Amino acid sequence: MVTVRAPATSANLGSGFDVFGAALTRPADVVTVEKASETTIEVTGVGAQYIPEDPEKNTVGAVVEALDAPARIHIDKGVRPASGLGSSAASAAGAAVALNRLYDRGLSRSELVPIAAEGEAVVSGVAHSDNVAPSILGGFTVTTSEGTHAVDAAIPLVVCLPDVAVSTRDARRVVPETASMDDLVETVGNAATLAVGMCRSDPGLVGAGMSDPVVTPERARLITGYDDVRAAAFDAGAAGVTVSGAGPAILAVCRDERRRGVAAAMLDAFSEAGIDARAYQTRIGKGTTVL
């Protein structure tokens, strides 16, 4: 039997749409696998009632197929589905690492990324790696068609998750098909600034580089209260605020001593918009760990 803890992740980080990702220290899924002749999946925890246990429909089924690793699988969800925190990716990443260990497949962490991404495709329609890569590798990740680069970064974060769901499929429908040259130049500059900030573990630079004029404004419209929550986070000392992944979670970067105030301000702003929410004071952390 193998049990792993697979972290939530935040993709895009604003300027790095479909490229940047980061592993969060919390929340996380816990995945346990045992050898079996036929695969069965049991899901418990946050939002378990929305997750199919049929291996054909669960994110983990494709991972089992790819590794030829039938197993009795238990997924204890800490990462709420449809949150923008890489919920399906955490389960897929956890299963990939756990089954690789259970069956001694000998694949490296990097080799497991595309396998876990196949699981992602089952639920989101596209095999993105920008959530599974940080959930497996940890740290700040840059994923392109050539592969993934991961670096450790000491960056404090606040994630505020409203009690509403946004599906990745819906959030991809509002992504513009084109961008102007001015927006392209601005986005490249911001993304480069953010990457430098990560390498220097500098929350100010990371926050400054999160700004994205193309995708985030369209997705923000799907999140009631977004503008007020964003403004409240900045007022409380956040250095940058953006939509986490496809939303509705909102991600803020700040200095350690500001996290508590930023979290409280974001919760208050959602509350004033009539929406229940919860906040995680977190930071960029490790990838999937074997327990």
Query: What residues are labeled active site?
Result: 120, 168
Size of the site for ligand HSE (CB under 6 A): 11
18 binds ligand HSE, rule: CB under 6 A? yes
168 binds ligand HSE, rule: CB under 6 A? yes
Ligand-binding annotation for 83, yes or no, is: yes
Instruction: Return the structure tokens found at 42.
Output: 């049991």
Ligand-binding annotation for 91, yes or no, is: no
For residue 197, report the phi and psi dihedrals to the nearest 5 degrees: -60, -40
Ligand-binding annotation for 86, yes or no, is: yes
Ligand-binding annotation for 84, yes or no, is: yes
- The residue among 39 and 129 lying less far from ligand HSE, judged by its C-beta, is 129
- The interface region with ligand HSE, picked from 11-19, 25-33, 143-151, 259-267 by CB under 6 A, is 11-19
267 binds ligand HSE, rule: CB under 6 A? no
Instruction: Return the structure tokens found at 35.
Output: 């050898």
250 binds ligand HSE, rule: CB under 6 A? no
Q: Distance (Å, rounded) from C-alpha 131 to C-alpha 143?
A: 9
Buried b / exposed e over 159-188, threshold 16 CB at 10 Å, is: bbbbebebbbeebbeeeeeeeeeeeeebbe
Residue 55: count other Cβ atoms within 10 Å of its Cβ.
20
Near ligand HSE by CB under 6 A: residue from 128, 230, 259, 283: 128
Instruction: Return the structure tokens found at 190.
Output: 């911001």
170 binds ligand HSE, rule: CB under 6 A? no
For residue 2, report the phi and psi dihedrals to the nearest 5 degrees: -130, 135
Which residue, chain included where needed, has tokens 């970064």?
A: 153
Which residue, chain included where needed, has tokens 């993105």?
A: 128
- The residue among 80 and 128 lying less far from ligand HSE, judged by its C-beta, is 128
Near ligand HSE by CB under 6 A: residue from 15, 131, 216, 242: 131
The contacts of residue 221 (CB under 8 Å, 6+ apart) are 174
- The interface region with ligand HSE, picked from 26-34, 140-148, 167-175, 202-210 by CB under 6 A, is 167-175
Cβ 18 to ligand HSE shortest distance, Å? 4
Residue 100: count other Cβ atoms within 10 Å of its Cβ.
23
Near ligand HSE by CB under 6 A: residue from 246, 251, 253, 262: 246
Rg, C-alpha atoms of the chain: 18
Cβ 136 to ligand HSE shortest distance, Å? 15
Ligand-binding annotation for 137, yes or no, is: no
- The residue among 123 and 205 lying less far from ligand HSE, judged by its C-beta, is 123
90 binds ligand HSE, rule: CB under 6 A? no
Cβ neighbourhood burial of 238 (10 Å; 0-12, 13-18, 19+): buried
Strands laid side by side in the 240-243 sheet: 240-243, 250-253, 156-162, 277-283
Which residues face 242 on adjacent strands?
A: 251
Near ligand HSE by CB under 6 A: residue from 101, 172, 260, 286: 172
Cβ 16 to ligand HSE shortest distance, Å? 9
* Contacts to ligand HSE by CB under 6 A: 11-12, 18, 128, 130-131, 168, 171-172, 245-246
Binding-site residue positions for ATP: 80-90
